[in-house]
Chain A
Amino acid sequence: MSTLTVNSTRDAVSVTGLRKVYRDKVILDAIDLGIGEGQVFGLLGPNGAGKTTMVRILSTLIPPDAGTATVFGHDVRREPGAIRELIGLTGQFSAVDDLLTGEENLLLIGRLLHVPAAERRRRAAELLERFDLVDAAKRTPATYSGGMKRRLDIAMTLMGRPRIIFLDEPTTGLDPRSRHSMWQIIRALAAGGVTILLTTQYLEEADELADRIAVLDHGRIVAQGTPDELKRRLPGAQIVLRFADAASFDSAAQALPESKRDEGQFVLRIPHEGGIHSLREVLSCLDETVAVEDLSIESPDLDDVFFALTGNTQKEQN
């Protein structure tokens, strides 16, 4: 299923046969992926799929148990020091220091990067400006909104001018407005030429931002490709009819043999090719005595997309 991307450009990240086991549980297995330099790569999957473990391995926080992973040609096990010079990590859990002000957080990171004092202050001021945190610079993150905290988090990641940024679920828990502002930030970073590995639970987000997506499920990559390639593998649109009673439901189901039946709710789903003509055809099959309670047209739901790819029947992913 998974294939190694062969890129004409140099690979920023190259992973082959990666495996990680924690106690008795296989977290990641047989992972192959490549991220070209300058690419935005989306790692999509539900909670517990192994996204964070993948990020932790690539950012040298934990070693893999088998397989190889390189970042700009440096092996995560043999040359973690060289990798740490090139990466920026914005983890799933807020990586800001809650007792320091926004500005102090940036300056502290600058110090740890051994940036000279004047340059440190210049970069911090520039990032505070860029992420709309000037007014909040002298306050501690305890007073920040979720979106502001994430922005500070990313600003801290950028203090080191990384060549690749790992963004682990950058919008989880954000309100819709902050999410959109985060998307703009990520797009601007990508436009600046930096390589980005983004993990997300939302297909919509991966679709919006990523050049390439890998779908991770139970520690394995179940699909990989451009957003368009993945969407082509999806179920089509459906006409959904709900009926008032069993009699109407049964007669309609007989009239529409191609429909999928949901007996419990008196719901029929009929494949829809799109357009008024196809809709009229379906309706004309229905007797006038049939009591249709509700009609709707469903485009492939983003969740359906995901379930189709992961082969998961359970909708409750949480």
Chain B
Amino acid sequence: MSSPTLAVQDATTMLGRELKHTMRFPLLLVGTILVPVVMLLLFEYILGGPIGNGLGGAAHGAPYVEFLVPGIILLTVAASCGPTAINVRMDMGGGFVDRVRAMAVARGALLAGHVGGSVVRTTLSTVVVIVVALLFGFRPQASVEAWFAVLGIVVAFSFSLAWVSAAIGLTAKSVAGANGLTLPIQFLLPFLSSTFVPAESMPAGVRWFALNQPFTAVVDTLRALLTGGPIGTSAVVAMAWCVAIALAGYVWAQVALGRGIRAT
């Protein structure tokens, strides 16, 4: 077998391990579903009234839930950063990784397994969150093609965030630290984007940041696809962000992997 074939085989093996871990220890997966669902209920039933009224035309006359759910989907993707960073950090703390590194296993297979596992988990929790949203009155206007596009964006964004999370897991000093370092991605960036309210409604300084950061481009695209609104340039911008973040995260992870080798 050629070495690229072996590399794919090793990465698949590691992905299998990662998925088995998820099944044996499903708490992290449950968390990535629970947080978005709680946010959905919180924003829809407690904060949703005044926000929905204030939103006016931004939701194109639809109820706030139609504006909110694409944001909740984005939040689900962001929520998986925590478990991914935690899983990578836990691996680095144990002896198993040393064993694998001292074997003739394709370099990068381990992280590829983590990233792949993260994408599978995120896709799964996104599906669950969408089902919950449907139960709570979400009535999307999306065509089949649009649903596939939504899936594509979820996978692409989760893939790029997973590389960043893996790098965070490699650099963090502790498991708790690994989770903590992903919190800005999980919560700060979504709030400072048009996840819950349109970026245009924010104060000037924040507005500029919100309009130009990746989460806004991604959520605007998801929203346009699900509500049948105009997509404009947001899809292209979102994909560009995905590629850029994935590359940056990948390079960061490789550097961290090379440097993170303990001496004793």
Kindly identify which residue among B9, B21, B99 contacts A91, using a CB–CB cutoff of 8 Å: B99
Write out, one digit per residue, whether chain A residues 225-252 have a CB within 8 A of any chain B CB (1) or not (0).
Answer: 0000000000000000000000000000
B173 within 8 A of A: no
A216 within 8 A of B: no
Complex: how many Å from CA A61 to CA B261?
A: 8
With contacts A108-B17, A111-B13, A114-B6 taken as known, whether A97 is within 8 angstroms of B96 at the C-beta atoms is yes
Minimum CB–CB distance from A243 to chain B (whole Å) comes to 46
With contacts A59-B102, A84-B103, A93-B95 taken as known, whether A99 is within 8 angstroms of B264 at the C-beta atoms is no
A224 within 8 A of B: no
Query: Which residues of chain A have C-beta atoms less than 8 A from B96's C-beta?
Result: 95-97
Complex: how many Å from CA A52 to CA B100?
A: 17
Query: Which residues of chain B have C-beta atoms less than 8 A from A160's C-beta?
Result: 103
Complex: how many Å from CA A52 to CA B103?
A: 17
With contacts A91-B99, A95-B94, A99-B24 taken as known, whether A52 is within 8 angstroms of B104 at the C-beta atoms is no
Minimum CB–CB distance from B20 to chain A (whole Å) comes to 6
Please tell me if the beta carbons of A85 and B104 are within 8 angstroms of each other in the complex: yes
**Which residue of A is nearest B109, CB measured?**
A112
With contacts A85-B104, A99-B21 taken as known, whether A112 is within 8 angstroms of B13 at the C-beta atoms is yes
Query: Which residues of chain A have C-beta atoms less than 8 A from B20's C-beta?
Result: 99-100, 104
Please tell me if the beta carbons of A114 and B99 are within 8 angstroms of each other in the complex: no
Kindly identify which residue among B6, B24, B102, B103 contacts A140, using a CB–CB cutoff of 8 Å: B24
B25 within 8 A of A: yes
B101 within 8 A of A: yes
Kindly identify which residue among B21, B24, B98, B263 contacts A95, using a CB–CB cutoff of 8 Å: B98
A20 within 8 A of B: yes
Complex: how many Å from CA A20 to CA B263?
A: 9
Complex: how many Å from CA A157 to CA B95?
A: 12
With contacts A95-B95, A100-B20, A111-B13 taken as known, whether A61 is within 8 angstroms of B101 at the C-beta atoms is yes
With contacts A94-B94, A95-B95 taken as known, whether A112 is within 8 angstroms of B21 at the C-beta atoms is no
Query: Which residues of chain A have C-beta atoms less than 8 A from B99's C-beta?
Result: 89, 91, 95, 109, 156-157
Kindly identify which residue among A50, A62, A84, A85 contacts B261, using a CB–CB cutoff of 8 Å: A62
How many A residues are at the interface, by size bracket? 35 or more
Complex: how many Å from CA A56 to CA B25?
A: 31
* Count of CB-CB pairs between chains A and B under 8 Å: 79
Query: Which residues of chain B have C-beta atoms less than 8 A from A61's C-beta?
Result: 98, 101-102, 261
A39 within 8 A of B: no
Chain A interface helix/strand/loop/mixed: loop
B66 within 8 A of A: no
Please tell me if the beta carbons of A81 and B104 are within 8 angstroms of each other in the complex: yes
Complex: how many Å from CA A160 to CA B225?
A: 51
B residues 239-264 touching A (CB-CB < 8 Å) = 261-264
Minimum CB–CB distance from A133 to chain B (whole Å) comes to 17
Complex: how many Å from CA A89 to CA B95?
A: 10
Minimum CB–CB distance from A94 to chain B (whole Å) comes to 5
B10 within 8 A of A: yes
**Which residue of A is nearest B18, CB measured?**
A99
Kindly identify which residue among A48, A87, A96, A108 contacts B13, using a CB–CB cutoff of 8 Å: A108
Please tell me if the beta carbons of A62 and B263 are within 8 angstroms of each other in the complex: yes
B residues 27-48 touching A (CB-CB < 8 Å) = none
Query: Which residues of chain A have C-beta atoms less than 8 A from B98's C-beta?
Result: 56, 61, 89, 91, 93, 95
A residues 78-118 touching B (CB-CB < 8 Å) = 81, 84-85, 87, 89, 91-100, 104, 108-109, 111-114
**Which residue of B is nearest A110, CB measured?**
B13
Residues of A at the B interface (CB closer than 8 Å) are: 20, 22, 27, 48, 50, 52-53, 56, 59-62, 81, 84-85, 87, 89, 91-100, 104, 108-109, 111-114, 140, 156-157, 160
Q: List 19 A-B contacts (CB under 8 A).
A: A22-B264, A48-B264, A56-B263, A61-B98, A81-B104, A84-B104, A87-B102, A89-B98, A91-B99, A94-B94, A95-B99, A97-B96, A100-B24, A108-B17, A112-B103, A113-B104, A114-B1, A156-B99, A160-B103
For the complex of A and B, the 9 pairs showing the least CB-CB separation, nearest first, are A95-B95, A22-B263, A93-B95, A95-B99, A84-B104, A89-B102, A59-B102, A91-B95, A99-B24
| 12 extra interface residue pairs, beta carbon distance < 8 Å, beyond A95-B95, A112-B100, A114-B6 | A61-B98, A61-B101, A61-B102, A84-B103, A85-B104, A89-B102, A91-B98, A92-B95, A97-B17, A104-B20, A109-B103, A112-B105
